[in-house]
Structure 1
Amino acid sequence: MISAIISWSMRNRFIVIIATIGLTIFGWFSMQDTPIDAIPDLSENQVIVYTEWMGRSPQIMEDQVTFPLVTNLQGMPKVKDVRAASMFGMSFIYVIFEDNVDIYWARTRVMERLNSAQRSLPEGVTPTLGPDGTGVGHIFWYTLDAPGYDLGELRALQDWYVKFALQNVPGVSEVASYGGFQKQYQVTIDPNKINYYKLTLMDVLNTIKNNNNDVGGRVFEMNGTGYIVRGLGYVKNISDIENMTIATRNTIPVRVKDIGTVQMGGDARLGIIEENGNGEVVGGIVVMRYGENADAVINRVKEKMKEVEKGLPKGVKFKVAYDRSDLIEAAINSLKNTMIEEIILVCIVIIIFLFHFSSSLVVMINIPISILLSFIAIKYFGITSNIMSLSGIAIAIGVIVDDGIVMVENAYRHLTEEGGDDHA
């Protein structure tokens, strides 16, 4: 079989050369299109369903949220397993699909089931899908370096400006904020006063909720001009809440400040984020979308950060906490250096032992062609260029070199014995 292939190749040299050039060019473009990452993604092909119902115990979350959702999500096509975890005020469900299932097809199937499962959940509880990323999708971490600013201001800046800007970068699935305080208006009720006025907590809650709202009206025409009538009622400061009227007792309005106090505070936190022992920081985690090129996404995020930084308050700037592109570039440079070193070593070995440049050229050409052809398979098998795959290529280069040296030396020896040294 091998002899027949060699004989056919010798008789059709032009076809072999054209096919080799074509496959090499195809391999070059495949290498350019192959996603680059530092580490292989070995995570499950999963869709995460997250449900929040604050203040409820894990047992209530399990009985009223997790169990109804799990029973509805079971039985979907191409699902391997459904796992769940319930904790205080939160429920997580992991729907594991088969490896060959498209992630967006899987998310669509899960969303269809959630629409029907909504009827079995408590009122006001809405499950949501997690980001379309994987366990290794955290490709970039940053913090806001801002001396003199408090953590509440920085968290508001991160949540309402930086986060939305970076989420528009192509390939970014989510920008998760961390650290600082999430600002909120906190109303502390005096139980003695609320009993004195014969009110309930729901009266206070509904009053604040109904008064924090804009309402629209109809168009009022006067002198040929139409005026849009609307009511502006969004809360802008603490005094707006304090002066809200809950009820009327003996023609005297009972306001929120009459039964308690209002202050600006931070939401409850389960932990803090500290950087190098220098105190708390505020920042974000950039999560890459499934199947994207990590190196290209990181570069686009960095370009976007330069634009966003121009709009930050004076003294605030970005500080990189983790950048996977450094590891990605190190892995790529390692492969390049290995290939160059082996080509040089092959040239030296063959030239020393054979003193024949054309024989060295045959082996040298095999190395880049074999690498480029391997990228065709890497691309169409859905494998990223990472440390593991590039290391495999680097190891395989040694096999290619060994085979090439043996074959060239053997061919050269036979030609020399037959007196064909001039034609070698």
Structure 2
Amino acid sequence: MVEKLIAFSLRNRFLVLLIATAIFIWGIYSIKTSKIDAIPDLSENQVIVFTEWMGRSPQIIEDQVTYPLVTNLQGIPKVKYVRANSMFGMSFIYLIFDDDTDIYWARSRVLERLSSIGNVLPQGVAPTMGPDGTGVGHVLWYTLDAPGVDLGEQRALQDWYIKFALQNVEGVSEIASFGGFQKQYQISVDPNKLSYYKLTISDIMRAVNANNNEAGGRKFEMSDIGYIIKTTGYLQSIDQIENLSVKTNNSIPVRIRDIGTVQMADESRLGIFDYNGEGETVGGIAVLRYGENADQVIQRVKAKMEEVSKGLPKGVKFNIVYDRGELIEESVSSIKNTLIEEMIVVSIIVIVFLFHWRSAISIIIQIPITIAASFIVLNFFDISSNIMSLTGIALAIGVIVDNGIIMAENSYKHLAVRQDELNRQQKGGEHV
């Protein structure tokens, strides 16, 4: 088989060169379109289901949230196993799918099962799916450099302006906010006054919910002009909350200010984010979506950050804390330099040892063609160009050259033997 292939190649040299040129051009195109990352993504094919029920102990979360969800999510097609974790006020369930499962098909199956759970969970508890990001999807971390701006204002700026803008970047699964304070209205109730007025916490919650809403009416026409009737009832200040009526005693309204105090405060926190020991700060994490090119996504996020910076308050700017793009550039640059150095060294060695420029060129040409063809295979199997795959290519150069040298030396040997036979035949003929 090998002899026939060699014989065919010798008889059709132009066709072989044409195929090699086509493979090389295709390989160059594959190199330009190859996904670039610093590290290979070896994370499992998983879907995360997150459920929040604040104020409950881990045991209650386990019994009333985690266990019902796990029992109902088991049995989904192509699921290898299900992991679960319960903590204070939160439940995490990890569904690990087979490696060949499409992640979005898996997410649709999980969403379908969640929609059919019904009344298994406590009232008001709604499970949600995590972002469609990988385990190594944290490609960029940033903080806000905002001197003179309090942490609450920084977190509001991050949650209501920056996050929405960066989430629209192609390839970004989520912008996860961290640090600072999340502002909220808090009602501190005096239990003695609750008992005096014969009220409960539920009464106060119903009063706030009923008065924090809008209601629409109908269209009213007068003098050929149409008027839309509606009521504006959203709460917008502390005074409005304090003046809400909870109940009426003998035609006298009992307001929230009569049974407690209202203040603008911060949501309870379980931790802080400190930057270089200089104090707390606010920022976000850009999470990469499955199957995206990390290098291109990072560049898009940076470009979007420059655009968003124009709308930030004076003195506020981005401070990039972690940028995998730099690691990608350093890793790929290091491997590229190694490949070039290897090609040069190998070419010199081949020329010195064979001392025949045509043989040396035939071996040296194999190196770029083989490297380009390897990227075709990488793209076919959806493998990114990372430090592991590129290192494997660098190590394979020696094998490529060894094969060429062995074939060249074997050809020389057979040619030398054939030449000796011809010489002996000529000498024998002259002697006769």
TM-score category (smaller protein): over 0.9
> Take 2:405 and 2:336, find their aligned partners in 1: how far apart are those partners?
21
- Greater shift, 352-361 or 64-73, is seen at 352-361
Shift of 1:357: 3.1
* Equivalence for 2:305: 305
Judge conservation of contact 2:49–2:127 (CA < 8 Å) in 1: yes
After TM superposition, list the pairs within 5 Å mapping 1:339-354 onto structure 2: 339-354=339-354
> Take 2:185 and 2:23, find their aligned partners in 1: how far apart are those partners?
65
> Take 1:122 and 1:240, find their aligned partners in 2: how far apart are those partners?
31
* Equivalence for 1:111: 111
> Take 1:317 and 1:409, find their aligned partners in 2: how far apart are those partners?
64
Q: Secondary structure at the residue paired with 1:247?
A: strand
Judge conservation of contact 1:97–1:106 (CA < 8 Å) in 2: yes
* Equivalence for 2:296: 296
* Equivalence for 2:2: 2
- Greater shift, 149-158 or 115-124, is seen at 115-124
TM-score by length of 2: 0.93
> Take 1:109 and 1:217, find their aligned partners in 2: how far apart are those partners?
40
1:181 counterpart letter in structure 2: F
* Equivalence for 1:359: 359
Q: Secondary structure at the residue paired with 1:134?
A: strand
2:89 is equivalent to residue 89 of structure 1: yes
Deviations 1:233-289 (A, max 9, x none): 212221121111212223222221111111111111111101111111100000000
Deviations 1:75-103 (A, max 9, x none): 12111111111111111111111100000
**Structure whose alpha-carbon radius of gyration is higher:** 2
Judge conservation of contact 2:38–2:332 (CA < 8 Å) in 1: no
Q: Secondary structure at the residue paired with 1:319?
A: strand
* Equivalence for 1:255: 255
After TM superposition, list the pairs within 5 Å mapping 1:1-400 onto structure 2: 1-400=1-400
> Take 1:318 and 1:411, find their aligned partners in 2: how far apart are those partners?
64
2:394 counterpart letter in structure 1: A
- Greater shift, 33-42 or 270-279, is seen at 33-42
Shift of 1:185: 0.6
Deviations 1:45-86 (A, max 9, x none): 111111111112222212221111111111121111111111
> Take 2:118 and 2:268, find their aligned partners in 1: how far apart are those partners?
28
Q: Secondary structure at the residue paired with 1:135?
A: strand
Please list every run of 5 or more consecutive structure 1 residues that lacks an aligned counterpart in the other structure: none
Shift of 1:414: 5.8
Shift of 1:412: 5.1
- Greater shift, 353-362 or 271-280, is seen at 353-362
Judge conservation of contact 1:346–1:363 (CA < 8 Å) in 2: no
Shift of 1:358: 2.9
Q: 1:408 to 1:392 in 2, by over 3 A?
A: same
Judge conservation of contact 2:193–2:259 (CA < 8 Å) in 1: yes
Q: CA RMSD in A?
A: 1.7
> Take 1:228 and 1:280, find their aligned partners in 2: how far apart are those partners?
48
- Greater shift, 1-10 or 406-415, is seen at 406-415
> Take 1:156 and 1:412, find their aligned partners in 2: how far apart are those partners?
76
Please list every run of 5 or more consecutive structure 2 residues that lacks an aligned counterpart in the other structure: 421-432
Deviations 1:1-26 (A, max 9, x none): 32221111111112211211222222
Judge conservation of contact 1:172–1:297 (CA < 8 Å) in 2: yes
Shift of 1:39: 0.8
Judge conservation of contact 2:141–2:323 (CA < 8 Å) in 1: yes
Q: 1:285 to 1:263 in 2, by over 3 A?
A: same
* Superposed structure 1 runs of 4+ greater than 6 Å apart: 416-420
* Equivalence for 2:429: none
TM-score by length of 1: 0.95
> Take 2:92 and 2:26, find their aligned partners in 1: how far apart are those partners?
44
Judge conservation of contact 1:66–1:91 (CA < 8 Å) in 2: yes
> Take 1:347 and 1:70, find their aligned partners in 2: how far apart are those partners?
60
1:268 counterpart letter in structure 2: S
* Equivalence for 2:430: none
> Take 1:299 and 1:419, find their aligned partners in 2: how far apart are those partners?
62
- Greater shift, 296-305 or 389-398, is seen at 389-398
Shift of 1:340: 1.2
Q: Secondary structure at the residue paired with 1:383?
A: coil
> Take 2:416 and 2:244, find their aligned partners in 1: how far apart are those partners?
103
- Greater shift, 349-358 or 54-63, is seen at 349-358
Judge conservation of contact 1:52–1:126 (CA < 8 Å) in 2: yes
Aligned residues: 420
> Percent of counterpart pairs with the same letter?
64
Judge conservation of contact 2:335–2:387 (CA < 8 Å) in 1: no
Q: 1:235 to 1:383 in 2, by over 3 A?
A: same
Shift of 1:28: 2.1
> Take 1:351 and 1:377, find their aligned partners in 2: how far apart are those partners?
30
Deviations 1:99-118 (A, max 9, x none): 00000011111111111113
